[in-house]
């Protein structure tokens, strides 16, 4: 990638995501990537990044396996982004199925790579999000404890996960809101939601959190729908039901992959516009290491605004 690497001093003096949210006069836009498994996946990731970088995202992030399974690949991609680009870069971190010492060591590796932003997520058990949560015998009990650990280890700007649709483990929206407030009290500066499909779900979550006296900025996470099977799988993992109306639109064109992408992109674009019109502080795109749909939605939002 032909980009200019930031200096260490320049990266340190960059405004944090929390700073951007506090001073924002426009919505923030950000992109999420996942670490590739092989050379072909790596080529796809960096190709998508080259095409998305000119949009000047406010930050980018790299996911981390729910039980730490991709920690080294996550670190490698995150460190490369930080060293080879000027992009504000955030690494993800989970505490599921890992001793606290390993989690703390990963925080240290992020710091050594110049990463000052971490998204702290509890993570799921190997059986998925509906499997009962069992902390590692030498691990952390929850995401709130993870936020505290990160904050103790340095001057990090910490984000956390939020659930517009109830977390599938408990299916209790009130509990989800209270846990989000606890994470804010532990030192989180902002939240990014998991996948969802209804704008009303996002605003209901925000209202629940505000009713508890918490003004934590909540950035909606949005995944452009390009494949029905992929979207259904991610929705099941995140506990976000696909509305019947959305599924019907997709199924009407199920035999035409190009039409699925077009319809899915429009659905996501309409959702993003509704969120921004209602006052959401930005949009975090789950890119799936692809760029076409994300670029189309971003361009449409710029035109409408």
SS3 for the chain is CCCCCCCHHHHHHCCCHHHHHHHCCCCEEEEEECCCCCHHHHHHHHHHHHHHHHHCCCEEEECCCCCCCCHHHHHHHHHHHHHHCCCCEEEEEECCCCCHHHHHHHHHHHHHCCCCEEEEECCCECCECCCCCCCCCCCCCCHHHHHHHHHHHCCCEEEEEECCCCCCCCCCHHHHHHHHHHHHHHCCCEEEECCCCCHHHHHHHHHHHHHCCCCCCEECEECCCCCHHHHHHHHHHHCCCCCHHHHHHHHCCCCCHHHHHHHHHHHHHHHHHHHHHCCCCEEEEECCCCCHHHHHHHHHHHHHC
Active-site hit among 32, 84, 182, 251 = 32
Residue with the two structure tokens 């929850």:
142
Q: Write the CA distances from 169 to 34, 129, 132, 165, 177, integer angstroms.
A: 24, 6, 7, 12, 14
The torsion angle over the Cα atoms of residues 46, 112, 285 and 158, rounded to 10 degrees, is 180
32 is catalytic: yes
Q: Which two tokens stand for residue 1?
A: 């990638």
Question: Cβ of 169: how many Cβ atoms within 10 Å?
Answer: 17
**The token pair that represents 112 in the structure block:** 């050594």
Tokens of 290: 């692809």
Report the catalytic residues: 32
């Amino acid at each position: 990638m032909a980009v200019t690497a930031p200096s260490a001093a320049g990266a340190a003096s960059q405004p944090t995501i929390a700073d951007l949210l506090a001073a924002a006069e426009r919505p923030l836009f950000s992109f999420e990537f996942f670490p590739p498994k092989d050379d072909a996946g790596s080529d796809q990731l960096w190709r998508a990044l080259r095409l998305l970088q000119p949009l000047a995202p406010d930050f980018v992030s790299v996911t981390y396996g729910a039980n730490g399974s991709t920690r080294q690949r996550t670190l490698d991609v995150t460190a490369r982004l930080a060293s080879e680009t000027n992009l504000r870069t955030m690494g993800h971190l989970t505490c599921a199925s890992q001793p606290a010492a390993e989690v703390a060591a990963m925080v240290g590796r992020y710091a050594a790579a110049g990463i000052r932003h971490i998204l702290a997520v509890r993570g799921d058990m190997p059986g998925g999000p509906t499997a009962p949560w069992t902390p590692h015998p030498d691990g952390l009990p929850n995401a709130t404890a993870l936020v505290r650990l990160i904050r103790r280890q340095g001057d990090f700007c910490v984000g956390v996960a939020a659930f517009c649709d109830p977390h599938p483990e408990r299916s209790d929206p009130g509990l989800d809101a209270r846990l989000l407030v606890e994470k804010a009290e532990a030192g989180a500066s902002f939240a990014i939601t998991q996948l969802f499909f209804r704008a009303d779900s996002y605003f209901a979550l925000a209202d629940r959190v505000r009713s508890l006296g918490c003004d934590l900025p909540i950035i909606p996470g949005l995944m452009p729908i390009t494949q029905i099977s992929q979207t259904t799988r991610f929705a099941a993992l995140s506990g976000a039901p696909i509305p019947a109306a959305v599924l019907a639109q997709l199924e009407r064109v199920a035999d035409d992959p190009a039409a699925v992408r077009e319809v899915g992109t429009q659905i996501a674009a309409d959702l993003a516009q509704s969120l921004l019109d209602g006052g959401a502080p930005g949009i975090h795109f789950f890119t799936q290491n692809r760029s076409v749909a994300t670029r189309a939605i971003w361009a449409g939002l710029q035109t409408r605004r």
